[in-house]
Amino acid sequence: MKKKFLTIFIMLFCLASVSPSHAVTRQEVEHIMHTILPSSKGITGAPLFEPRVATPAQQEAEPEPITILEEEALEDDPYSYGTPQDYEATTPPQSAEAETNVQAPQQQAVHLTRQEVFLTCLNKMGWTPALALLKKLAWFGEYANTSPAGIVLENIKPAPPTALFTPADETFPDTDIAKLTEWARACANNVKMESNFTHKGGTICIIKSGVPTASGKVQDMWARNVPLFVVYYVQNQKQNSALVATAEQMGADKLPLSAIAKGTKGAEFAVNGGYFGAGKGQIIGVLRSNGNTLRQNFWRNRSGFAWNNKGEHVFFDARYTQSITGNPAYDKYTEIFQAGPMLIFAGQLCSNTEDININVLGKRHPRSFVAEQPDGTIVWGVVDGRSASHSVGMTIDELRDFCKKRNFINALNLDGGGSSSVWWSGHTFSRPCNQMCSERKIPYAILVFDAQTSREGIGRLAAPSFIKVAPIINVPKQDDYKIEDTIEIPE
């Protein structure tokens, strides 16, 4: 009997000696992330979950106010398509020396669930804009029950330890802080997520990687694990037809990408095309739409892309093609446009600058591109840019390397900067770098149509008599076009 009582006493003593675990708060998680990623202090936005009011049982003493160093303003970044700004900050950017004391919220501290801790970490890694774009998938029936956090959790590398963020609605205990810290440190070194989504026969690939640059600068070429967001659409030419669609065919000089796409019956995907001038947006280079030549003078030293809806296509490299005027080999292509520079041609990397401004080539900017995979399928994509936390963008060399690593056998750079945008099935799936993330108005876009519209035939967007051939204009030697007007299109 004495032995039994002694055993019970020892068990109770041991239980009393163990410090009980408590749930963590958002401030505690953010403090961990600030320690691992000092640059994350400049991310002032909230994580992608609804705030909750603390229950009486959770009303404990508030932590001390956290001193947060505001993100340094981005350095001057001259680009031929506009002025760079980082529109993520909820307050105007200040210098690196300016400090702001962020007072504790009026509410009592709320204990976070495992999913809320995960979202708080992603927010401090600069991934909330990507999560917001993933949230748009809920509009598609096949992804109606898929959460952005679930998509990232399933695909992020390095993968978190088992059960660190699941079950989603379970309160996160402080006993898991060590595992959380270890995973966050691994992400600070290298983190990436990639996933494919299919809707109405088309497939879109979304890639998110990196964390905010330590310097807070987009052009920090020495930074590792820089933030990037890339989205591209894989077109099955046998099932989905594509067309060059102009704003003029809709009665305007320029329109936002989403307006051109939404105004065209059966359009399933859209991306911006080649270069254009200021003012009314005069199109630069040859342009053919639905068999009609809208602009006939070839832009020398610039590459391009041509195709028809029989599945035939060709990339033409400016080093070998000085003109296509009068060349019967191009008569069979109903769609033609020029851009540049060529990134990959016939499987080989291209170094030709095509006389493009060095600031456009050598600095990181938003990019758009068209490429071909080894099986002949066409890829249309966008790289977001000009944000030191969401996506810094790419130099031409970085875009070229990206395309090579994707095993693209041909790849062409398109118009970039504020023009870069991608639209899919009713929603913009990129984050334009213009003010308030609004879309820039452009003179034409590339549209890919759903399978039914492709089978029935695209038809004419406008009567042939309405289509006009643009006048010949004097093209500057370098890409110094200034585009200022933007418009915000609500989803």
* Residuewise pLDDT in 10s, the chain (491 residues): 555 444 444 444 443 444 456 789 999 999 999 999 999 988 877 787 765 544 444 444 333 332 222 222 223 333 333 333 332 333 333 333 333 333 333 445 689 999 999 999 999 999 999 999 999 999 998 999 999 999 999 999 999 998 999 999 999 999 999 999 999 999 999 999 999 999 988 899 999 999 999 888 999 888 889 999 999 999 988 888 999 999 998 999 999 999 999 999 899 999 999 999 887 788 999 999 999 999 988 998 899 999 998 989 999 999 999 899 889 999 999 999 999 999 999 999 998 999 999 999 999 999 999 999 999 999 999 999 999 999 999 999 999 999 999 999 999 999 999 999 999 999 999 999 987 788 999 999 999 998 888 777 764 443 333 333 333 333 333 333 333 233 232 33
**Residues contacting 97, CB < 8 A, separation 6+:** none
Question: CB-based contacts of 90: which residues, under 8 Å, 6+ apart?
Answer: 44, 45
| Cβ-contact 249, 460 below 8 angstroms | no
Distance CA 46, CA 26 (A): 10
Crossing angle for the helix pair 177-189 and 26-36, to the nearest 10 degrees: 40
pTM: 0.81
Structure tokens given for 162: 């088992």
Domain ranges of the chain: 26-54+69-88+110-192, 207-487
Backbone phi, psi, residue 404, to 5°: -65, -45
The edge-to-edge listing of strands for the beta sheet with 410-413 is 192-199, 202-209, 228-235, 378-383, 367-372, 410-413, 342-345, 348-349
Neighbours of 103 (CB within 10 A): 8
Q: What is the largest CA-CA distance in the chain?
A: 107
- In the block, which residue shows the tokens 């990408």? 257
